Amino acid sequence: MRADPCPALQPKVATNCSRFTTPQCGLLETHWGGNTVPWHQGCSVSICMVVNTNISAQASARTLGENQAMLNKSLARLSSGSKLINPSDDAAGMAVSTRLDSQIARLNAARSNISNAVSFTQTQENYMKLFGKALDRMSELTVLAQDITKSDADRALYNAEFSELGDYIDKAATKEFNGVPLFSATDLDVSIDSEGDVFTMGGVEITTSNYTDATTSSIDTIANAKLALVAVKNTINQLSTDRATIASSQSRLNLTIDQLAIASENLTAASSRIKDVDIAEESTNFAKHNILVQSGTAMLAQANQLPQSVLKLLQ
């Protein structure tokens, strides 16, 4: 026959909840639901059942909220293609990316300016090429006019063509490119990088005596034809120099365009590594957070059902 333990050793039952506290007097045992449960010295077993506070539900709701926030962020990144949805995602990266994007925009603007300058020089070159053809014919006429078998009437016919070709060159001196004179002694500064550095293109002027001496000459006599030949030869030499100047500027500008294209490409790649999302990686994160949100929702529903077990005690 088993003797009951002394009252001092009996489990103490709290009056406000079903919490049982072990006495501090060694290994004891008590009966709970028909089962013998050992209690060890110094232990405390809490099985408090309350309705107003559901800690499990609160923890589940907090975890669910965190996973839902990460899921929303993954959705935003995948839909926008950018991993910097908010500045707080990467404050330093956002600042660097902004500066890189600004520099890229300036480089592209400089490339546009240089491309226009190349078009300007190409237009100059096309006119100069035609000037060369005109001067070639004019030099030919000066020699023909020196033919002793030709009469002054014949030379007058040669002179008419000679004058028309000279007039063509003189009239071309006033041509413009989008309102900018094609042939002027004024140098032109072309911006060539994102910092506003410039390349100076030398001006080409065809109203100087190097050109007008030939275009205003006459070959109506043999003597005048000889003088015109010297003037035309000098003009052809000057034309060759001017065409070389235009060609050198055009070559420099083309190389600068290639340089800016490479710089823009490299800066774009650097900016992309900072702000563009890795779709493969982010898809994995999306799948993970999506599963966690679904499981968290299910567990929150279970946690919300826990207080209902109190009803069994009230039956």
The answer to whether residues 185 and 310 belong to one domain is no
Asked if residues 232 and 225 have their Cβ atoms less than 8 Å apart, the reply is: no
The answer to whether residues 252 and 290 belong to one domain is no
The answer to whether residues 153 and 101 belong to one domain is yes
Residue 64: C-alpha distances to residues 71, 78, 85, 89, 301 (Å): 10, 21, 21, 20, 11
The answer to whether residues 256 and 121 belong to one domain is yes
Q: Given this model, what pLDDT does residue 181 score?
A: 93
Question: Residue range 134-153: average pLDDT?
Answer: 94
Say if 78 falls within a structural domain. yes
The answer to whether residues 116 and 182 belong to one domain is yes
Q: Which two structure tokens, joined as six digits, stand for 53?
A: 């506070």
Q: Given this model, what pLDDT does residue 48 score?
A: 65
pLDDT at 14 over 60: no
Say if 111 falls within a structural domain. yes
Task: Read off the CATH number of the domain in which 247 is found.
Answer: 1.20.1330.10
pLDDT in tens, 205-247: 998 899 999 999 999 999 999 999 999 999 999 999 999 999 9
The answer to whether residues 123 and 247 belong to one domain is yes
Asked if residues 243 and 125 have their Cβ atoms less than 8 Å apart, the reply is: yes
Whole-number Å distance between alpha carbons of 312 and 87: 52
pLDDT in tens, 283-293: 898 899 899 99
Say if 9 falls within a structural domain. no
Compare 227 and 1 and report the one with higher pLDDT. 227
Question: Residue range 244-252: average pLDDT?
Answer: 94
Domain span at residue 106 reads 91-275
User: Which of 285, 243, 229, 44 has the alpha carbon at shortest distance from 127?
Assistant: 243
The answer to whether residues 119 and 62 belong to one domain is no
Sign, Cα dihedral of 228, 229, 231, 235? positive
- Interior CA angle at 205 toward 200 and 211, to 5°? 150
Say if 61 falls within a structural domain. yes
pLDDT at 30 over 50: no
Question: Residue range 248-252: average pLDDT?
Answer: 94
| pTM, rounded to two decimals | 0.69
Confidence of residue 5 (pLDDT cuts 50, 70, 90): very low
Residue 229: C-alpha distances to residues 154, 178, 236 (Å): 17, 36, 11
User: Which of 168, 141, 171, 143 has the alpha carbon at shortest distance from 157?
Assistant: 141
Say if 165 falls within a structural domain. yes
pLDDT at 42 over 80: no
b/e map 131-146, b = 16+ CB within 10 Å: beebbeebbebbebbb
Q: Given this model, what pLDDT does residue 47 score?
A: 54
pLDDT at 203 over 70: yes
Whole-number Å distance between alpha carbons of 61 and 296: 8
Percent of the chain clearing pLDDT 90 (strictly above) = 50
> 3-state class of 205 per DSSP?
coil
The answer to whether residues 290 and 176 belong to one domain is no
The answer to whether residues 234 and 285 belong to one domain is no
Question: Residue range 95-119: average pLDDT?
Answer: 93
Say if 15 falls within a structural domain. no
The domain total for the chain is 2
Confidence of residue 20 (pLDDT cuts 50, 70, 90): very low
Confidence of residue 250 (pLDDT cuts 50, 70, 90): very high
Q: Which two structure tokens, joined as six digits, stand for 224?
A: 């005048």
Q: What is the largest distance, in Å, between two alpha-carbon atoms of the chain?
A: 162
